[in-house]
Amino acid sequence: MAGAEGDDSLYPIAVLIDELRNEDVQLRLNSIKKLSTIALALGVERTRTELLPFLTDTIYDEDEVLLALAEQLGSFTVLVGGPEYVHCLLPPLESLATVEETVVRDKAVESLRKISQEHSPVDLEVHFEPLVKRLACGDWFTSRTSACGLFSVCYPRVSSTVKAEIRQHFRTLCSDDTPMVRRAAASKLGEFAKVLELDYVKSDIIPLFTALASDEQDSVRLLAVEACVSIATLLPQEDLEALVMPTLRQAAEDKSWRVRYMVADKFSELQKAVGPEITKNDLVPAFQNLLKDCEAEVRAAAANKVKEFCENLPEDSRETIIMTHVLPCVKELVSDTNQHVKSALASVIMGLSTILGKDNTVEHLLPLFLAQLKDECPEVRLNIISNLDCVNEVIGIRQLSQSLLPAIVELAEDAKWRVRLAIIEYMPLLAGQLGVEFFDEKLNSLCMAWLVDHVYAIREAATCNLMKLVEKFGAEWAQNTIVPKVLSMSNDPNYLHRMTTLFCINALSEVCGQEITTKHMLPVVLKMASDQVANVRFNVAKCLQKIGPVLDSSALQAEVKPVLEILATDQDMDVKYFAQEAISVLTLA
Amino acid sequence: MSAISATEKVDGFTRKSMRKAQKQRKSQGSSQFRTQSSLVELSPLPHLKDTPSTEQQVLFVQKLQQCCVLFDFLDSVTDLKSKEVKRATLNELVDYVSTNRGVLVDSAYPDIIHMISTNLFRTLPPSENPDFDPEEDEPSLEAAWPHIQLVYEFLLRFLENPDFQPSTAKRYIDQKFVLQLLDLFDSEDPRERDFLKTILHRIYGKFLGLRAFIRKQINNIFLRFIYETEHFNGVAELLEILGSIINGFALPLKAEHKQFLMKVLIPMHTTRGLALFHAQLAYCVVQFLEKDSTLTEPVVRGLLKFWPKTCSQKEVMFLGEIEEILDIIEPTQFKKIQEPLFKQISKCVASPHFQVAERSLYFWNNEYILSLIEENIDKILPLMFGSLYRISKEHWNQTIVALVYNVLKTLMEMNGKLFDELTASYKADRQREKKKEQEREDLWEKLEALKLQDVSNSRGLQIAQNNNNNNNSLTNAEEPNTSAAITDSVNSQTFNCAK
């Protein structure tokens, strides 16, 4: 193996390194992305002694190249000779962790975190931890932000003296004078707390948490809210009141809406972290305030959490709390001035019925559902309709049908085709819950009207919808109600509508079964083979190919084959193509 | 920021239509906790000018305190009378500090600053439109502007009053005050930002102790804008202030200022909304170069590093900035950057986007740039020739073709001999390039094969590689060559990096 191949692989190496220095960024990028191939070709030793030093010196490059490099190095351990040598990867990654571009830096930190696990405890203290320290003391803020993400991965595996140093560095970064670094520290606070011993959580983390939560920059304070969840989970219940709650209360009433938004957004997590007692005493009033906040953003975030919050309330007092504290706020939100708030509420409000049970739903929630079904904003109505199944389980859908119908009709005719599309998607669900009679009476005509919508996506969805309806209501129903209407469209002067007939047949033949397909659909399809529009003709060919498996062999031979043979000699090349394809797929040749 | 709702998921167009709907409501209130119940009604105090001068101070303070009451302007029907009283009082206060001498006694400062802080310093509300595009969308205007405008006016007059004492004021106009002022630059209301610009400029001028702090905070705002949020409404205004600050820098420039140029202003060219503040940004950059021409090379290399890859609109802006830099460049500096720069320009003239091509070809209309090119024609012509020659044959836009012919003619006149040589070797050069390309592809193919082979050998991998290594170190015929090649390349790279 040695001789010839060894020589052969030597030449490319120089060229490869040259490739990494190519003038064209794209080529450099390509080479970097294939760095593992290069390393493999070089072998572990030369990768360590030549390639890595070269890479460390190349750091001044375009960010895109650096990003690829940072990513590659994270999985380079094997290529430098395994865990024993993994520390060789640290110098280039250290440089990458100090560049300005956030994406590159984050990737470098991610790779560093990954390879930290591959260090032996000794190497971690000898090589990795000093790197973290250097970054933490860097002059420019970028290296200090990167350091924040590395403490938690080395802390659990180092000696107690080094641990003390790490805690000290983290403390320093939490009070750094650039907000960028404080933000990085605040966002890693929860993660760091998790690896600390409980005593240090109390003595170190809590003061840092309190300080960050009252930082002068709201962008820092809001990150402390995130940390609050992890910290509260770590502490024993009896310490929460004194150590966490004052800060949380303050955050819920922060003067910046961004911080309050964050509290609302993390409310379920907070609720779980602080437990039922504090929830009852503190979080319930806080939640009420968030639902009544002066900023719509905050109200919407809180409205999104209504169902989850109620679900997670302690069972013994759940109903009372909902009825006396939450529901009054919810009622106000139904007529909020902001549509995002209303639609956030509409997406969860139906879920309350399962929690409150039948009587309360009928008495208190039903009026709200009805109001939202009549909301001026289509999004609100859609959100209600899309969650009908929750209510159906509790009180049945009949109670709503009177209001439901106008809402559906209006959405079905909405000027925006994407709204129409959304409501079509709920039709099978509605049909299932409203029953066949109600459907025939009120909704069938809507479903047929969609087939001639002027937007293709709607016609397509309508076709698919018919198939799902037949799956629900059966072939007999199909034969009586929809098949005649679909087939009559084959005589429509508009060729797009004639094609819709074919698309419907494609979708329906299988669910309708052989009899209906052969007796009713096939003759129509065959007749359309002589349509003057080529698009219709080649769709006939495609349609025959599709429904062929449903038909029996005599029909295929006697009726389908001759027509396809004619189409195969059509003057239009597309018609010919699809006819021939159908003949070969159906093996009629 | 706003809730992601069901239709936003199903309907990508909803947002646009909602945006249109929102345009109707343009004014915004500040994000504050307001008490629901109406406040105490304000009653007008006597006029200052009708009051004996001995009592004026007391009345002045009373009026300042009266103006600390805040009103909800989104509600246009409540407190109409009180709102009017406050407006009139504010007008009177503006008048009072701008026309009278001797009214700014030390004891009034805390009340003045308190009134200003109470009215101005507020959390800005969430943007009505999360994807607010300052170029297309109408900004939301501050609803309380009738009062806030007068407070800004008052602050400005206060700062400009001849009796104004920075030594007294610095106890109140401190770092915290400045920080809150800077936060307001994110306001969507251009009228507000305009006031803030003038005011911050005055504060920077009068409070020497705050200068470093202000620069550092602007630095932080910019870094956050560039690397974290890409959103801050007041970038253009802050850059405008910086433009005049840079103008006043003493020479030699401090390391801090150079760092600001290289680590903040140059990366700022990568942001999405560049069009909104490019003029101000380019002005700042050129100011730096006028101060210290040795910064030219790092600046130009920085711009080349961040040269737009896909956005032609930005590319045109970059070309504009390069021309501004070339206008003031020193010939010795030009020599240092001509090679990388003209490689880029040669790509630009060949751009299929005719505005980019056109903008770069316009360089040849600039007398000073022409003289620089002529001086260095031996270096520049070979860089430009390939693109120009190709484009002259195949660009779709006739205007560009005509411009290219003119440029080729100019270059030919500068050095006809070199031009002829390049014309003669054009074909051979292209073929050589193609061949090189082919070789590169072959190389990668070979490598891929090697990789596959190694993977299929899986267990034998380590041993095979060890063998390879042993071989390498033993066959000294080849080994030194290769490592020399590598060391060479490392060295040349280091040279490239050295600025």
Please give the pLDDT value at position A25.
80
Nearest Cβ partner for B472 among A6, A140, A301: A6
CB contact under 8 A, A54 and B490: yes
pLDDT surpasses 70 at B267: yes
Please give the pLDDT value at position A414.
84
Please give the pLDDT value at position B31.
54
Nearest Cβ partner for B11 among A9, A257, A416: A416
What residues of B are in contact with residue A301 (Cβ under 8 Å)? 3
Residues in chain A predicted with pLDDT less than 50, given as ranges, are: 1-8, 10-11
Nearest Cβ partner for B11 among A12, A304, A419: A419
* Contact status of B74 with chain A (Cβ, < 8 Å): no
- CA of A94: how far to CAs of A70, A104, B370, in Å? 10, 12, 45
Residue at token pair 């850059």: B239
Confidence of residue B356 (pLDDT cuts 50, 70, 90): very high
Please give the pLDDT value at position B453.
66
Distance between first and last Cα of chain A: 56
φ, ψ (nearest 5 deg) of residue A26: -60, -40
What residues of B are in contact with residue A337 (Cβ under 8 Å)? none
Please give the pLDDT value at position A6.
43
Q: What is the DSSP letter of B272?
A: T
Please give the pLDDT value at position A55.
83
| Average pLDDT across chain B, whole number | 81
- Beta-carbon count within 10 A of B405 CB: 12
Mind telling me how many Å the CA of A40 is from chain B's nearest CA? 7
* Contact status of B347 with chain A (Cβ, < 8 Å): no
Count of A-B CB contacts under 8 Å: 176
Mind telling me how many Å the CA of A254 is from chain B's nearest CA? 10
CA–CA separation, B253 vs B291, rounded Å?
Answer: 8
pLDDT digits (tens, 9 = 90+) for A433-448: 788 888 888 788 888 8
CA–CA separation, A371 vs A332, rounded Å?
Answer: 12
Nearest Cβ partner for B7 among A180, A216, A382: A382
pLDDT surpasses 90 at B325: yes
What residues of B are in contact with residue A264 (Cβ under 8 Å)? none
* Contact status of B75 with chain A (Cβ, < 8 Å): no
CB contact under 8 A, A54 and B489: yes
pLDDT surpasses 50 at B286: yes
Please give the pLDDT value at position B427.
87
CB contact under 8 A, B3 and A178: no
What residues of B are in contact with residue A386 (Cβ under 8 Å)? 6
Q: Which residue of A has its CA nearest to B447?
A: A37
CB contact under 8 A, B223 and A257: no
Question: In CATH, which superfamily holds the domain spanning A474-588?
Answer: Leucine-rich Repeat Variant (1.25.10.10)
Q: Which residue of A has its CA nearest to B443?
A: A12
Q: Give the burial string for A260-280 (b: 16+ CB within 10 Å, else e).
A: bbbbbbbbbbbbebbebebbb
Nearest Cβ partner for B125 among A16, A179, A295: A295
The residue extents of the domains of chain A are 474-588
pLDDT surpasses 50 at B461: no
CA–CA separation, A301 vs A304, rounded Å?
Answer: 5
Please give the pLDDT value at position A4.
36
- CA of A164: how far to CAs of A122, A126, A211, A368, in Å? 17, 16, 20, 57
pLDDT surpasses 50 at B306: yes
Reduce the DSSP state of residue B142 to 3 states and report it: strand
* Contact status of B34 with chain A (Cβ, < 8 Å): yes
Nearest Cβ partner for B483 among A27, A50, A339: A50
Confidence of residue B430 (pLDDT cuts 50, 70, 90): confident
Mind telling me how many Å the CA of A212 is from chain B's nearest CA? 17
CB contact under 8 A, B14 and A178: no
CA–CA separation, B470 vs B472, rounded Å?
Answer: 5
Q: What is the DSSP letter of A23?
A: S
Q: Which residue has the higher pLDDT, A23 or B262?
A: B262
Confidence of residue B288 (pLDDT cuts 50, 70, 90): very high
- CB contacts under 8 A, B 438-477 vs A, are 440, 443-444, 446-448, 450-451, 454, 464-469, 471-472, 475
Confidence of residue B176 (pLDDT cuts 50, 70, 90): very high
Please give the pLDDT value at position B476.
37
CB contact under 8 A, A418 and B13: yes
Please give the pLDDT value at position B134.
67
CB contact under 8 A, A379 and B263: no
What residues of B are in contact with residue A458 (Cβ under 8 Å)? none
Tell whether pTM > 0.90: no
Please give the pLDDT value at position A407.
80
pLDDT surpasses 90 at B116: yes
- Beta-carbon count within 10 A of B256 CB: 11
* Contact status of A473 with chain B (Cβ, < 8 Å): no
Mutate to test the interface with A, among B465, B476, B479 (most CBs of A within 10 A): B465
Between CA B285 and CA B289, with CA B287 as vertex, the angle to 5 degrees is 75
pLDDT digits (tens, 9 = 90+) for B411-428: 989 988 998 998 888 888
Confidence of residue B454 (pLDDT cuts 50, 70, 90): low
